[in-house]
Amino acid sequence: MPAGELWRCVEMAVNGTKSAYPKLQPLDAFFRDLETMLRTLVAGALGPSPRTVKTTIAKKSSRKKPGDRK
């Protein structure tokens, strides 16, 4: 995801959280919900690293099936 698109999503998350908590009250609930949304957005934007995916694929292909010869 391009940085500009991520920024737009972060801005929408902040605006949505503000609408759920008018005047940012209670403040602790506002921050808790905002943190949850931002962590979810950032984790989804980053995704798994290509190295992790490549290693997982290599491990799956090296498994032996029952009945395979040695």
Tell me: the pLDDT tens digits for 11-32?
998 998 899 888 888 999 999 9
Provide the pLDDT for residue 57.
58
Provide the pLDDT for residue 31.
92
Helix (H, G, I), strand (E, B) or coil at 1: coil
Provide the residue ranges of all domains of the chain, joining segments of one domain with +.
3-61
Average pLDDT over residues 33-39: 91
Q: Which residues have CB under 8 Å from 41's CB, separation 6+?
A: 6, 9, 10, 13
Q: In 10 A of CB 17, how many CB atoms? A: 20
Helix (H, G, I), strand (E, B) or coil at 25: coil
Verdict on whether the full-model pTM lies above 0.75: no
Most distant pair of Cα atoms in the chain: their distance? 69
